[in-house]
């Protein structure tokens, strides 16, 4: 297409010697079209992320009675998870940490994160439920599923979302009884504006507003965990 536009511009340039002012105007328009095409090609080649973000922002899903729109696309999630894995690997070089993935919501995040960690490590899955529907109940339940000894070990908690922080605080207190060397928190999402307790969260992918979200392991009444992007409720 660019070669064709160049040819048109050249022909009009020849015509303009006898065609007067009108031909010059047309030549200018074609040259502008050619420049616009080059600019568009450059943007498409060098800024695919921006175009993808625009496309994703147009995407919505319906889950039961609620509508959700893309707020964090899959490519951005992968980018941040990889950066987090690299940071953990650098910080824990020379150690063999145990990752504790909090079910159910963290399973996708935990799987992706572990594949980016380069130091020797292990993973186990525990459960502490605190969500029903679209809001936190504030209740915490007993820790289930910790079968590996963690005494003297570095433990990295893998959580999908930290909302009020009450569940995480309770989990930290429970883990103290097993005498780990230290316990570090990694979270896909944190809502700073909704925290009710002080937490040290050295590994966080995204800080988000106090909105209800779904996708990438997070659910709305059991549905939506399989969505590749993270979506925010619209209504």
**Under a CB-based contact definition with an 8 Å cutoff, are residues 127 and 101 in contact?**
no
Query: Distances in Å between the alpha carbon of 164 and those of 101, 176, 193, 200?
Result: 18, 20, 9, 14
Q: Which of 160, 163, 198, 211 is catalytic?
A: 163
Q: Are strands 230-233 and 203-207 parallel, antiparallel or unpaired?
A: unpaired
Q: How many CB atoms lie within 10 A of CB 230?
A: 25
Quick one: CA dihedral 202, 208, 211, 216, positive or negative? negative
Closest CA to 30 of 46, 15, 41: 15
The question of whether 163 is a catalytic residue gets the answer yes
**For 193, which DSSP code?**
G
Alpha helix positions (H), the chain: 2-46, 48-57, 74-91, 107-114, 166-176
Q: Which residues are catalytic?
A: 163
């Amino acid at each position: 297409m660019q070669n064709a536009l160049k040819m048109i511009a050249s022909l009009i340039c020849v015509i303009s010697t006898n065609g007067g002012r009108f031909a010059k105007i047309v030549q200018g328009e074609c040259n502008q079209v050619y420049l616009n095409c080059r600019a568009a090609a450059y943007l498409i080649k060098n800024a695919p992320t921006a175009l993808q973000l625009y496309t994703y922002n147009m995407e919505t899903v319906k889950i039961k009675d609620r509508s959700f729109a893309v707020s964090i696309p899959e490519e951005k999630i992968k980018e941040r998870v990889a950066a987090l894995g690299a940071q953990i690997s650098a910080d824990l070089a020379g150690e063999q940490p145990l990752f504790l993935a909090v079910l159910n919501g963290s399973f996708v995040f935990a799987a992706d994160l572990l594949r980016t960690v380069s130091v020797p490590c292990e993973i186990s899955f525990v459960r502490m439920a605190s969500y029903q529907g679209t809001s936190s109940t504030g209740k915490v339940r007993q820790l289930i599923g910790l079968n590996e000894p963690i005494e003297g070990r570095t433990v990295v908690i893998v959580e999908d979302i930290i909302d009020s922080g009450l569940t995480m605080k309770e989990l930290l207190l429970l883990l103290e009884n097993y005498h780990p060397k230290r316990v570090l928190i990694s979270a896909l999402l944190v809502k700073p504006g909704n925290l009710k307790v002080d937490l040290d969260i050295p590994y966080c992918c995204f800080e988000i507003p106090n909105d209800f979200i779904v996708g990438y392991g997070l659910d709305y009444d059991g549905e939506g965990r399989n969505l590749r992007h993270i979506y925010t409720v619209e209504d």
